[in-house]
Structure 1
Amino acid sequence: MHADCTGSPGNPEIPDMNTTPIHPLIVHLPMALAVLMPLVAGGVFVAWWRGYFRKRTWSVVCLLQAAMLASSLVAMRTGESDEERVEQVVPEAAIERHEAAAQLFTWGSGLLLVVSLLPLLSRSPGRARAAGLVTLGGTLVVLGLGYKVGSAGGRLVYEHGAAAAFTATDQGAPSRPPASHGDDDRY
């Protein structure tokens, strides 16, 4: 499932879905949710605390956190399926850094999902609100983890030329990025 820049046979403007790398399409959902979750959790928490919403409204936070975890797992799976091809043009150490950051982000998302359920499960209003505050803080931590994984992924594409693994040359082989990758141990 990878794409080249030539488009589908019937229409050169539409990417050929048989060759489109799915990972770059999927990975933006957990990253967008990582950015939005502090805002959503903060807004729902303040509205709940002030009595505008009932505690069950917090389930929106839990559902979005579950969507982040699920999309993170799918993004990791699609990244793993593209890994062998990308290793042809990108230093393995750079890929491993991105993969390690993605695993940490996914584990963080999963842990935060469990924590986000605590306000709904608590019978004590004070404990429920405290768990909501912990969840809110956790969304900021996961946002930071998301930044790290996104930054490492961006370096794969823009510094190491990972996209070259999916663009064909005249011979049909992946094109190579410029020879100089720099010192890949600096990150």
Structure 2
Amino acid sequence: LFLKKLIRDELSAFGDPKQVMAKLYFPEHHLSHAASAYYASPFTDAAVLTIDGVGEWATASICHGEGNELTIHRELHFPHSLGLLYSAFTYFCGFRVNSGEYKLMGLAPYGRAGSEEVERYVRLIKERLVRMNEDGSIWLDQHYFNYATGLTMVKDEAWKGLFGFPKRVPERDELEQKHCDLALAIQQVTEECVLRMAREAA
């Protein structure tokens, strides 16, 4: 809320605040991501897909870059977020949100590809947690999630009922095959969503 004042106060350490009156701009979060990819690339005409947890309100965006212009064409808005869906599984498997997602991704190859258990988890994710549209947009059933209104990523009891086991407590619970299978299932669902978004962007 008071970010401009805070920045101006900090800049005043470098000289007279009346002389440090440059305009401050706050670009959109997803446009910043897209710009850092597009303008540093060798392309002069490109589709740019940005996917993360959440920016201001956007959770995924499709931009088009042509010459020195970059335009947002489509956005997906909070609370429907592929990044937050992945973070919810990070949390449920006992890793820290916003820093442990790479561990969930690293756990996925230990899942049993093609097994009944992985296929069951994929089916549960698609039937109960996320509706995936052909254009790559998603809708998350907020009856299972807590990140929009609470202090945790998911409603622990609802997920326990859905998957048949509780959230893993890292200091107490060992990683088991079921965690590997669940990691593989959400990896497969995430990849399917990303490919749909990429096709839509192209």
For the criterion TM > 0.5, the same-fold answer is: no
| Structure with the larger helix share | 1
| Structure with the larger strand share | 2
Q: Compute the TM-score of the two structures, normalised by the length of structure 1.
A: 0.30
Q: Compute the TM-score of the two structures, normalised by the length of structure 2.
A: 0.29
